[in-house]
Amino acid sequence: MTTLKAVRGTRDLLPPETALWNRIEATARAVFARYNFGEIRTPIFEDTGLFARSVGEETDIVSKEMYTWEDRARAQSEKPQSLTLRPENTAGVVRAYIEHKLGETGQLQKLYYIGPQFRRERPQKGRYRQFSQIGAEVIGPPSAGSESPLRDAEVLEMLATLLDELGITGWTLEINSVGSSADRARYNEVLRAALIPVAAQMCGDCQRRAVTNPLRVLDCKVAEDQAIIDALPKIADSLDGESKDHFAAVTAALDKAEVPYTRNYRLVRGLDYYTRTTFEFTHGGLGAQNALLGGGRYDGLSEAIGGPKAPGIGFAMGEDRLVLTLLAQESAVPQVLADAYIAPLCDEKKPDVLVLVSATALFLARELRRQGLRVELGDGSFRLKKSFEAGNRTARHIVILGEDELESGILTVKDFASGIQTKVPRAELAAFLSQPSGEPAGDSTS
Ligand code: AMP
């Protein structure tokens, strides 16, 4: 029988690396809390129409990367519903904003999420078919200030803070403005006209995009097309006065907050719903898939999926890529050692005592764990040497619990780092094990 493996593009995350994932998530939650964001959890799958109407039919995500299936109809008369594993989370958050009438609170909604997304992309380092995003959205009625450039600058400043606090060094922030939907429509026509004489010299994808969605040409990564694309008209020249002023206010606030950025005129991003500010944080250490996160403003998204006017701005960070970057920086995730390995030891020929020693070891472990210590419980069938080997691999100390210790209530503890063995009364054990390793304490017997 062939052995089953994780599906292509999906991965198992194992310890000790999962400790790094947890640290990243804890840091993100702590930073979001300081900026007064609350958590939102939306379903993993949604009606397919949600993504078609928000992300855009012509985008790579919707046209070829979604995991879509037809749900069984409940009744014969019913049409089966088309469902899709979420390829991104902004659409789901905005759907929830509309469904729960969050706009009627009159307040700005500041929501963050952490969770898996699914895209049928070609897997490679940093690109998976199931990946995790940490993202946030700031959305609300215009009366709550949701269109303000200060919101954009605050989100970007928060991201710079988050990356710094995660310990990611050497990131780059690129920003651009894609203007209002009217600006974009105007620019699309300017681009369409500019592409007519050159499209035939470009890759197949660009030839198609030149007709269906000219803006997407700017995303092309084919080397031969780059000189042609660089010579195309820039979106900055198609922005109206309001969009220009909005962008100028964003950059002025970033300058004041000392958040470094560069302007990238080609940054239009792969999703159709963006308006005005778009941005990406990249990292040189990631190779071809160098985007740590991306985001932007989406002033028309709520209306595009049937909701009220609710301008917003948000981002999604690739958690897998944060992990890759930190692993490359730190080279290895340190193994977390337990504070103690409890070794119940007993003569094999005394099965009754063995049961008692083992039971007491479990009780001792329970006591120590309740006091917050990280404890590994050994096994009464192990000999002394095997217990020491197992203890040395997993913990800072070994606590020996044999017949003598059972009677006297005084335990033998060895600190692996210093090699010092100490007799410790049971009542003092937790305090003793909590001390940093290598420091001799108590009445040392060796
Ligand atoms: P997007 O939702 O396409 O704007 O992507 C936002 C971020 O999610 C990117 O900058 C990446 O860090 C991450 N990301 C997107 N697609 C993938 C993928 N297939 N595998 C891993 N990370 C991804």
CA 383 to ligand 1 centroid distance, Å: 51
> pLDDT-derived band of residue 72, with 50, 70 and 90 as boundaries?
confident
The Cα–Cα gap between 339 and 343 comes to 13
Range of weakest confidence among 127-136, 213-222, 246-255, 390-399:
213-222
The mean pLDDT value for 71-79 works out to 82
User: Could you tell me the strand order of the sheet in which 421-425 lies?
Assistant: 375-377, 338-344, 395-401, 410-415, 421-425
Report the mean per-residue pLDDT for the chain: 93
- Do you find a cis peptide bond into 16, omega within 30 degrees of 0? yes
The Cα–Cα gap between 217 and 221 comes to 9
With a 6 Å cutoff on the Cβ, whether 131 touches ligand 1 is yes
Taking the model in full, what pTM does it have?
0.89
Q: Residue whose CA is closest, atom 4 of ligand 1?
A: 294
pLDDT surpasses 80 at 427: yes
Best CA proximity match to 84, nearest among 127, 43, 128: 43
With a 6 Å cutoff on the Cβ, whether 426 touches ligand 1 is no
Name the phi and psi angles at 314, rounded to 5. -160, 180
Strands 130-139 vs 312-318: parallel, antiparallel or unpaired: antiparallel
Q: Residue whose CA is closest, atom 16 of ligand 1?
A: 127
The mean pLDDT value for 260-271 works out to 85
pLDDT of residue 331: 67
With a 6 Å cutoff on the Cβ, whether 388 touches ligand 1 is no
The Cα–Cα gap between 311 and 299 comes to 4
Of residues 6 and 75, more confidence is placed in 6
Of residues 179 and 272, more confidence is placed in 179
With a 6 Å cutoff on the Cβ, whether 316 touches ligand 1 is yes
For 427-437, b/e burial (b = at least 16 CB within 10 A) is eebbebbeeee
The Cα–Cα gap between 112 and 151 comes to 15
Q: Please check whether residue 124 is in contact with residue 334, taking contact to mean a CB–CB distance below 8 angstroms.
A: no
CA 46 to ligand 1 centroid distance, Å: 19
> pLDDT-derived band of residue 446, with 50, 70 and 90 as boundaries?
very low
- DSSP-derived letter for residue 106 is -
pLDDT surpasses 50 at 444: no
The mean pLDDT value for 342-358 works out to 91
Best CA proximity match to 403, nearest among 358, 339, 340, 336: 358
CA 60 to ligand 1 centroid distance, Å: 13
Best CA proximity match to 261, nearest among 285, 273, 278: 278
Q: Please check whether residue 266 is in contact with residue 218, taking contact to mean a CB–CB distance below 8 angstroms.
A: yes
CA 316 to ligand 1 centroid distance, Å: 7
Strands 338-344 vs 395-401: parallel, antiparallel or unpaired: parallel
Q: Which domains, ranges and CATH numbers included, belong to the chain?
A: 17-180+240-330 (3.30.930.10), 340-445 (3.40.50.800)
Mutate to test the pocket of ligand 1, among 117, 163, 324 (most ligand atoms within 8 A of CB): 117
pLDDT of residue 351: 86
pLDDT surpasses 60 at 400: yes
The Cα–Cα gap between 66 and 104 comes to 32
pLDDT surpasses 90 at 445: no
CA 318 to ligand 1 centroid distance, Å: 5
Best CA proximity match to 40, nearest among 48, 51, 32: 32
pLDDT of residue 439: 52
> pLDDT-derived band of residue 10, with 50, 70 and 90 as boundaries?
very high
Q: Please check whether residue 146 is in contact with residue 32, taking contact to mean a CB–CB distance below 8 angstroms.
A: no
Q: What percent of the chain shows pLDDT beyond 90?
A: 78
CA 356 to ligand 1 centroid distance, Å: 55
The model's pLDDT over 179-225, given as tens digits with 9 standing for 90+, comes to 988 898 899 899 999 999 999 999 999 999 899 889 889 988 899 99
